[in-house]
Structure 1
């Protein structure tokens, strides 16, 4: 036990949830209640399984009373029965099992003694409020100790927004790198680097969902990671330029990436505390996925030349695949705040969309104003607005609602598949579309054909965003999700037409296809209520 009884309670409940969610655990518990069971077997089960857990809960509540956090007459037996019994009752009723943080908060509040500091009471009330204010913090001020998030009231902290700013520069560097190369190889190289950047960002999104980012140890760790990501961004322009035997920028990028990953694992290990399942998952992740992939990146950087691209691509694919396979049912990972998770990913999509707007200005900033520039800028801006509309009017609220409804294990699976992996395609699609926008705006007054490079980037990038949204909704059994994918197919089919016309008509074609997508999304919203699924 620690000096914080409430944190001990949450940790104990997380351990209970992990054990009772294991295959066969709930049927075994039901068997122990059957009338025909041998009394000696039941007695052994109570002595070895039930008794020790209830005793730990008694000690935690006793520590809370001793510290003055709980009232002296708090009924420990009823509280312990409520905490563990709620799992069984929800399961029998066929409902999603309660989140451990929320169940713990409700019970703790029921036994809570009024505090001299009203802010402590407010924090507990916030943790059980079904609709907390958007600006409500997870923590009050900076803490010296490392503590996990409490309850499910967390929203994105200002330091997380500050942390994301370094990725704005990194995304810009990736886009500029692909524009400079202007061929399929440069596009693939840029996507590999973007994948590495995304994997670092996702890692810290998971950590900050478990522990508030506005406490000292998180601020220090994430600041170190920010510096390393900035170094990665600085190295991007020359990351594939060196010949064999001169891999300077590539090696700098690989080493900076290693620093980011090590900081991420260190913070995650600190946040794990007494969570045995999470500590085990981190060890599997570290040894099975991270170390081999990071080593391959360094080796590829040292070798250089054409081999570097394929080694880096293989390292990234290996990391993604092994991480996915090692957590097929959620593994030991946990999602503490669905609202924070959904908001966090929505904000990074906003950052990527910002890159598409910057691309408009970068391409024509030094061009004299003209009708073609104005029309092109309006069409390009309309593309960004329609991408925003497609994501935020349907997908974003659906994703958060779906996460809220799911039980803990299924929450983690959705957070991993739809967000950690699916949003990689969404962000990549937005940035590639921004590349196409910049290419079109740079030649917006030309009458020559747009060309394959710009047409593929513009049309396929936007199609990737739409298709990923449609697939994510479809795998979650959202009604009429397939209808949203139709414009994505149409945009891919129209690539030959877009490359054959001038850049301005190509922008008009892309904007028209996205307008159809927005109309379909609006129609789905009006005609079909979201289908609930356990």
Structure 2
């Protein structure tokens, strides 16, 4: 055996052994309780985007959504690295969730009178988690040096809340950029962290489920406000629900199950901290796409016989395309393979965008739902074929489609 192969095998064995130490970790009721805060947070971001879906409105929503996602991610990582079986762990999570609640409450006026509250809540949320890790470190934590740098964005968000207009936006964008770049710069310290990947995968799947729930809420809440359910409204509701079902099916039936099966292959290529960051970024874009779809669904159901305006069509079709394209990043990053059916579908959806404003909303939404249903059928057929082949011969983990 040559040296590089031996090194890779040793690395894979070490990572697998490390995961084995924490295998079997389950999502706790405390984590699910904290998730309720983020149900409200996603509703708030969706409402903000619904109120203003211009490019400026999309930018403002993104600047507020990213810190909220980091807040959820920080709580999930805390639960992943700690047993959450004692009062200190739970209280830390609840304090962090309280900070996220104040962030969510501040979303409608975050660029107005509540900017200070938004920034202060983010700072408190970060400080609570950092303080816990500093007081009760374990060999799975990244070290005090990283924890200090982990705090840079919090004070910036807080200071930005005292500024106004473009100055506030610029400082908050800087804080977000630091949060994005910091894991890359501190990767040597992050390599000390050993994540329970099945637990982390389940947590991110649950967060995506929250976002999909907001899409269903958009369908129902909009229909409730209408004077009567006309035939176009009913048809639009059916298409909208089918679209959300398609988004759920592609992830939870195909992608999520395949990812669990192929984790050993990914672990052989990447460290668990690298996989953890990859899961975070990929689900950030998945959830962002679903939120955009939720806003588009509400507009389509409210005015099914009208043509979608450019902003709404961009959110609806762009959100679906972003959702599908994200699987390309995930699959390539983990397995050096591309999910061609999803990428082709994403390109098709983007190609349909110029025509989406030329037909009634009910037809535009039906077209999207048909694309998702056809994609699900294609992937089901591919999976069925591979299952038949697997019964004829053993199938290696790297052959499981992602």
The alignment's TM-score, normalised by the length of structure 2, stands at 0.88
CA distance in 2 between counterparts of 1:95 and 1:205 reads 26
CA shift at 1:338, angstroms?
2.2
Q: CA deviation at 1:382?
A: 0.6
Are 2:127 and 1:278 aligned?
Answer: no
Deviation at 1:330, TM superposition (A): 4.9
Instruction: Check the 8 A contact 2:67/2:176 in 1, yes or no.
Output: yes
* 1:208 matched to 2:79: yes
Q: Is the 8 A contact 1:436 1:454 kept in 2?
A: yes
Aligned length: 386
What CA deviation, in whole Å up to 9, does each residue of 1:202-241 have, x standing for no partner?
A: 111111112123421121111112221111111100111x
Pair 1:347 & 2:206 matched: yes
CA contact (8 A) 2:328 2:338 kept: no
Structure 1 residues 44-79: Cα deviation after superposition (integer angstroms, max 9, x where no partner): xxxxxxxxxxxxxxxxxxxxxxxxxxxxxxxxxxxx
Higher mean displacement: 455-464 or 210-219: 210-219
Contact map agreement 1:432 1:458 (CA 8 A) in 2: yes
C-alpha separation in 1, matches of 2:132 and 2:37: 19
From 332, 357, 364, the equivalent of 1:506 is: 364
Aligned to 1:123: none
SS of the counterpart of 1:476?
helix
1:91 paired with 2:10, answer: yes
The residue aligned with 1:255 is: 120
Worse-superposed segment, 400-409 or 225-234: 400-409
| Aligned equivalents of 2:178, 2:396: Cα separation in 1 | 35
In the aligned structure 2, how far is the partner of 1:319 from the partner of 1:432? 23
Specify which of 109, 131, 135 is matched with residue 266 of structure 1: 131
Of the three residues 183, 197, 201, the one matched with 2:54 is 183
| Contact 2:254/2:379, CA 8 A, preserved across alignment | yes
Separation of aligned partners in 2, 1:439 and 1:286:
44
Aligned to 1:144: none
- Structure 2, unpaired ranges of 5+: none
Q: CA RMSD in A?
A: 2.6
Q: Which has the higher contact order (CA 8 A, sep 6+)?
A: 2
Change (3 A) 1:98 1:414: closer
Q: For 2:269 and 2:237, how far apart are their aligned partners in 1?
A: 45
- Asked whether the equivalents of residues 251 and 301 of structure 1 are also in contact (C-alpha less than 8 Å), the reply is yes
Q: 1:309 maps to what in 2? A: 169
Is the partner of 1:500 in helix, strand or coil? coil
CA drift at 1:299: 2.7
1:377 alignment counterpart: 237
What whole-Å deviation, never above 9, does each CA across 1:414-461 have from its counterpart, x for those lacking one?
A: 1211x11111001111111111111111212x3x32111110110111
Q: Equivalent residue for 1:235?
A: 106
Which residue does the alignment assign to 1:413? 274
Asked whether the 8 Å contact 1:431–1:461 carries over to 2, the reply is yes
- Separation in 1, partners of 2:202, 2:364: 33
SS in 2 for 1:154: coil
How much does 1:404 deviate?
4.4
Q: Counterpart in 2 of 1:450?
A: 308
Matches within 5 A, 1:389-408: 389-405=249-265, 406=267
Instruction: Report the Cα distance in structure 2 between the residues aligned to 1:218 and 1:437, rounded to whole angstroms.
Output: 39
Structure showing greater radius of gyration is 1
The secondary structure found in structure 2 opposite 1:278 is coil
| 1:213-272 Cα distance to aligned partner (Å, 9 max, x none) | 3421121111112221111111100111x2xxxxx3011000001111111222333453
Shift of 1:410: 2.0
Q: Which runs of 5+ in 1 are unaligned?
A: 1-26, 28-86, 103-149, 243-247
